[in-house]
Structure 1
């Protein structure tokens, strides 16, 4: 097997389960060097609202709480958005290296076990962006993790990529989403909104606001990085 990211051969001892049941072998995994290059986030010592390093709710989440007083803040991210992750994301999302959807499949699969009964809702792309890129990076890594999802939202507006906007421009983003299903499919359900990266939170809060109009029982948010 080769590392999904750097393509170096991976040599390791097989687990007893993998020897007896070879179909349980992971389709893809990272070598130790690549795995160590990504910085995992821990909930201890981080903002309970967005997982930024903070002793309590960070200033951003306090501002969002004033804007969304009835929203329950609970975001989970797996990795810190630093140089190594940014380089990986550029290869996956912007260069279009679709094989990289497998990079964090094991970590995503394990993390999503904490959300039983939740409908996974990926953040959608506008039609123009999908045609340009050829895939939705979020549904890509969910598929690689073997996670089922439902596309509850539709993006109505094409805009510049978030990576090309300043923080202020991201925060001023107008509402780009509408429901893609009837409200009855959301009413009383638990929803986990999934995106690739949490930056300002503007994208996820826009999406959550639309879902809230259909009165779900609960909304949580999840991303690969923060």
Structure 2
């Protein structure tokens, strides 16, 4: 197998489970050296709503969202801290267009999303122009590489400059960019998981959730690789 980041061959002893069930053996995983670069978020040392590291109670971001959406329940899960190492990986994958890197976290994503059985998995969409520019939707790509079935529930109706080029206030002030891309009846009483690559201010995911909440889903939760 090869490392999903550095692309080097990984040599290791197989586990008993892998020997007995070889079809479960992935051809890609993170080598120990690359895995050490990323910092997992510790749930007991993070905001209970959005997993922002270094918080013991509800963070300032979540307090603001709670005031804006007082009738909504929201819970976010993220795997890694958005630090220099993750930013470097994202630069190569998302902005550098290294499509191979969609498989970097496939095992971690697969394990994490087992906790969302019964949820409709919806990746955050790109605008058509952004998709043509990049060649792929980075969120859809890492989900598909992890063997996760996804559904298109939303469409991005407006195109804007990348959020990476905006400051915090500019991100929070962005207008609603999404519209529904499926029959509203499909959402009634359903549990939905919105997935993005990174949770920064939460504006993108709350915009997306706001569209879905209008059509009576049972629950809307959110997930990202990094926070």
TM value normalised by structure 2: 0.97
Q: What does residue 31 of structure 1 align with?
A: 31
Q: Distance in 2 between matches of 1:111 and 1:2?
A: 21
Structure 2 residue aligned with 1:49: 49
Per-residue deviation at 1:34? 0.3
1:113 is paired with a residue whose SS is: helix
CA distance in structure 1 between the aligned counterparts of 2:27 and 2:101, rounded to whole angstroms: 12
**Is contact 1:120–1:193 with CA below 8 Å preserved after alignment?**
yes
CA distance in 2, matches of 1:27, 1:165: 38
User: CA deviation digits over 1:102-152, x for unaligned, max 9?
Assistant: 100000000001111000011000000000001000000110110101110
Is 2:74 aligned against 1:73? yes
Say whether the 8 Å CA contact 1:74–1:220 is kept in structure 2. yes
User: Is the CA contact 1:125–1:155 (under 8 Å) kept in the aligned structure 2?
Assistant: yes
1:189 counterpart = 2:180: no
Describe the SS at the equivalent of 1:44. Answer: helix
1:138 is aligned to: 139
Describe the SS at the equivalent of 1:138.
helix
- Residue of structure 2 in register with 1:203 after alignment: 204
Measure how far apart 1:182 and its partner are.
Answer: 1.2
CA shift, 1:71, in A, is 1.2
1:114 partner SS: helix
Give structure 1 stretches of 5+ with no counterpart: none
Decide whether the 8 Å contact of 1:18 with 1:25 is kept in 2.
yes
Q: Is the 8 A contact 1:48 1:73 kept in 2?
A: no
Moved more, 152-161 or 46-55: 46-55
Q: Deviations over 1:32-72 (max 9, x none)?
A: 01001100012112111111121110011101110010111
List structure 1 segments (4+ residues) > 4 angstroms apart after TM superposition: none
* Rounded Cα–Cα distance in structure 2 between residues aligned with 1:71 and 1:198: 18
Give the match's secondary structure for 1:37: coil
Q: What is the CA RMSD across the aligned residues, in angstroms?
A: 0.9
The residue aligned with 1:129 is 130
* Helix, strand or coil at the partner of 1:199: coil
The DSSP-based 3-state class of the residue aligned with 2:2 is coil
Gaps of 5+ in 2: none
Matched-pair contact (CA < 8 Å) for 2:193–2:223: yes
Q: Tell me how many residue pairs correspond in the alignment.
A: 226
Counterpart CA distance in 1 for 2:142 and 2:167 is 26
Offset at residue 83 of structure 1 (A)? 0.6
Corresponding residue of 1:158: 159
Give the TM-score, by structure 1 length.
Answer: 0.98
The DSSP-based 3-state class of the residue aligned with 2:67 is: helix
